[in-house]
Amino acid sequence: MGTQHQIARSIRALSADYVLALKRNHPTLWEQVKQWFETAVANEARGS
Protein backbone atom coordinates (compact mmCIF):
# COMPACT_ATOMS: atom_id res chain seq x y z
CA MET A 1 0.00 0.00 0.00
CA GLY A 2 1.19 3.53 -0.67
CA THR A 3 1.98 6.27 1.79
CA GLN A 4 -0.70 8.54 3.22
CA HIS A 5 0.51 11.27 0.87
CA GLN A 6 -0.12 9.09 -2.17
CA ILE A 7 -3.49 7.90 -0.89
CA ALA A 8 -4.63 11.44 -0.08
CA ARG A 9 -3.55 12.67 -3.54
CA SER A 10 -5.52 9.90 -5.22
CA ILE A 11 -8.64 10.65 -3.18
CA ARG A 12 -8.37 14.41 -3.77
CA ALA A 13 -7.95 13.83 -7.51
CA LEU A 14 -11.45 12.30 -7.41
CA SER A 15 -12.79 15.30 -5.41
CA ALA A 16 -13.82 12.86 -2.69
CA ASP A 17 -13.94 13.40 1.07
CA TYR A 18 -11.47 11.67 3.34
CA VAL A 19 -10.14 11.51 6.89
CA LEU A 20 -6.59 10.51 7.75
CA ALA A 21 -5.34 9.60 11.20
CA LEU A 22 -3.00 11.98 12.99
CA LYS A 23 -0.77 10.38 15.58
CA ARG A 24 0.13 12.32 18.67
CA ASN A 25 3.85 11.67 18.18
CA HIS A 26 3.91 14.71 15.87
CA PRO A 27 3.44 17.31 18.64
CA THR A 28 3.58 20.49 16.54
CA LEU A 29 1.12 19.27 13.93
CA TRP A 30 -1.07 17.68 16.64
CA GLU A 31 -1.30 21.01 18.49
CA GLN A 32 -2.07 22.97 15.30
CA VAL A 33 -4.88 20.61 14.33
CA LYS A 34 -6.24 20.52 17.89
CA GLN A 35 -6.26 24.32 17.96
CA TRP A 36 -8.03 24.48 14.59
CA PHE A 37 -10.82 22.20 15.82
CA GLU A 38 -11.16 24.08 19.11
CA THR A 39 -11.52 27.34 17.19
CA ALA A 40 -14.05 25.83 14.81
CA VAL A 41 -16.15 24.53 17.71
CA ALA A 42 -15.92 27.86 19.56
CA ASN A 43 -17.13 29.66 16.43
CA GLU A 44 -19.90 27.12 15.94
CA ALA A 45 -18.52 26.09 12.54
CA ARG A 46 -20.82 23.85 10.59
CA GLY A 47 -19.91 21.50 7.76
CA SER A 48 -21.59 22.08 4.44
pTM of the model: 0.58
- Of 31, 4, 33, 32, which Cα lies nearest the Cα of 20? 4
User: ∠ CA 41-23-42 to the nearest 5 degrees?
Assistant: 10
Pairwise CA distance, residues 30 & 12, whole Å: 22
Each residue of 1-48: pLDDT tens digit?
456 788 888 999 999 988 878 888 989 999 999 999 999 999 887 765
